[in-house]
Structure 1
Amino acid sequence: MNQFVDLTGRKILITGASSGIGKQTAMTLNGLGADVILVARREERLKAVLSELEGENNAYYVSDLSEVNRIEHLFKQIAEEQGKLDGMVYAAGIAIYTPLKLFKPDKIQEVFNINYFGFIESVRQICKKGRYNEGMRIVGVSSVASMRGDKARLAYSGSKAAMDASVRCIATEVYDKGICINTVAPAMTETEMYLEFMKTNGMSSPKNRGTLERQYMGVGKPEDIANAIAFLISPAARFITGITLPVDGGMTTS
């Protein structure tokens, strides 16, 4: 029986690849046969991830995707050095939690630059003629925060909701190029962001207990999200586009 998700010979770019979901996605996709191109801000971490990958055709690029006006140069360089791509996973992002009364426009801009504007510009660049192979697939890492309200998360939730809404529109524009685009929406997952949350709130805090009551399957692992991404980035999901897939341990059903 053929492997259901087989990425052999496919070249996939992953942003936010130095840690968390992005790093695990790189490891998972590479394990399924893909050559991966890593993008993140911290070179030492990128080197460490690269050293764990199999094969000789993986690469990394140091870039801060919140500097949106530099993304065009990045993708031009990648296209020239790596050739056409078969997919992109946009896992770069930040979470800043600030109550409305303390929010300033520059804080909202900071979150949207990386979570939303960087994503849209990356999609725009990779969809240019000559930069992708037929059947290219794009997956953005969103969040269940895009679907539910929570105190002090207006910028983070808003940026992820904007990503999801835009993907539904982009899907209708790029389908005739043979491109599919989707997002995954994780809930609480064991990443650095989760550990910071635990440090601030504590395991037994009312906020944490409330989250886990709704997320009744427990806290997710980065590999849970990476596995969903692997499916959506693969040819097996060729008939799926413009959707947001919750990978949330039951959060959105409770």
Structure 2
Amino acid sequence: MNSTPETNRETPLAGRHAVVTGAGSGIGEAIALELAALGATLTLVGRRAEPLSATCERLAGQGHGIAVADITDHAAVAAAFADAAAARGPIAILVNNAGAAKSAPAGKTTPALWNEMLAVNLTGTFNCTHAVLAGMQGARWGRIVNIASTAGLSGYAYVSAYCAAKHGVIGYTRALALEVAKQGITVNAVCPGYTDTPLLGGAVDNIVAKTGRSDEEAKQTLAASNPQGRLVQPADVARAVGWLCLPGSEAIHGQAIPVAGGEVMAG
């Protein structure tokens, strides 16, 4: 693939190879659909082939594929990304979306839970970025978008390990952005608030267990933290990611952008 493809108004990302992790459902699936609609060729990465294949079948355009890999395994990521680049061209766009959220009071957070949250949310982001960075530097063009969370911008009770990991993702985003600022690569974080995805199920279950409320009432409790009074939708996040990947977004760099209906206002 050409490292500097001509821009088409209908499909401005045509000729760009994009990798999206955790693309089998929720926010990752929505991001994959958005980038494909903008013309990118996609490689969808995750631990299970079935949901990745289901998403892949829904993508606009042709030439997309999947790669089954555990993002916490540095060698496995490097091999999967090398295979993807060989099949679909140099990786120009990386969306680090794969993540997990588990809750526990700080005093009951075990080392295993702590390490799991950092491995999936933070180390996985590093592993995937490390696999694409040299290629982007060589091409003098790239887009890296890390899906963080409003938990990376403020504190939430009972998810200290998750908050620490997402704060780490934002710190990594800012540090890397300074390193590559003059290399044609942008690095940003998108920070969703409570989003209506399968990942939200854990928070809903906790509220139901502790209060006896219904699932719908629990969701409304979470939505109340959003000044708009609603849960963020995966498509809301996907559109923000798509915009950051477009030609003309070069000046947006090193940012942590809340997609949360005003829950967090960066100043």
Q: Decide: shared fold, TM above 0.5.
A: yes
Unpaired runs of 5+ in structure 2?
Answer: 1-7, 208-214
How well do the aligned residues superpose, as a CA RMSD in angstroms? 2.1
CA contact (8 A) 1:5 1:230 kept: no
Go from structure 1 to structure 2 and tell me whether the alpha carbon gap of 1:151 and 1:44 turns closer, same or farther (over 3 Å shift).
Answer: same
Q: How does 1:108-119 map to 2 (within 5 A)?
A: 108-119=114-125
Deviation readout 1:94-118 (Å, 9 max, x if unpaired) = 0011111212222111111110011
**Aligned to 1:252, what secondary structure does the other structure show?**
coil
Q: Could you tell me how far 1:247 is from its partner in structure 2?
A: 0.5
- Which residue in the other structure is 1:169 paired with? 175
| 1:240 counterpart = 2:227 | no
Residue of structure 1 aligned with 2:235, choices 204, 223, 226: 223
Matched AA of 2:234: P
Question: What amino acid does structure 2 have at the position aligned with 1:228?
Answer: A
1:91 aligns with 97
* 8 A contact 1:146–1:158 mirrored in 2: yes
- 2:68/2:80 contact within 8 Å kept: no
1:1-254 aligned at under 5 Å gives the runs 3=9, 6-129=12-135, 133-201=139-207, 202-205=215-218, 209=221, 211-217=222-228, 218-253=230-265
SS at the partner of 2:170?
Answer: helix
Whether the aligned pair in 1 keeps the contact of 2:17 and 2:89 (CA below 8 Å) is no
Give the 3-state SS of the residue equivalent to 1:181 in structure 2: strand
- Structure 1 unmatched runs, 5+: none
Q: TM-score, normalised by structure 2?
A: 0.87
The verdict on how the C-alpha distance between 1:113 and 1:129 changes in structure 2, with shifts beyond 3 A counting, is: same
Deviation at 1:131, TM superposition (A): 7.9
Looking at structure 2, the residues matched to 156 and 144 of structure 1 have their Cα atoms a distance apart, in angstroms, of: 11
Distance 2:136 2:177 in 1: 19
Task: Give the stretch that moved more between structures: 117-126 or 70-79.
Answer: 70-79
Is contact 2:187-2:254 (8 Å) kept?
A: yes
For 2:110 and 2:180, the matched residues in 1 are separated by 35
Name the stretch that deviates more: 4-13 or 230-239: 4-13
Q: Aligned residues: percent identity?
A: 29
Cα distance, 1:35 vs. partner?
Answer: 1.0
Residues 13, 151 of structure 1: alpha-carbon distance in 2 compared, 3 angstrom cutoff = same
State TM-score, norm by structure 1: 0.91
Letter in 2 for 1:57: G
> Can you list the C-alpha shifts for 1:98-146, whole angstroms capped at 9, x where unaligned?
1112122221111111100110121112011478643211100000011
- Displacement, 1:216? 1.6
Q: Deviations over 1:34-54 (max 9, x none)?
A: 111100111011111111112
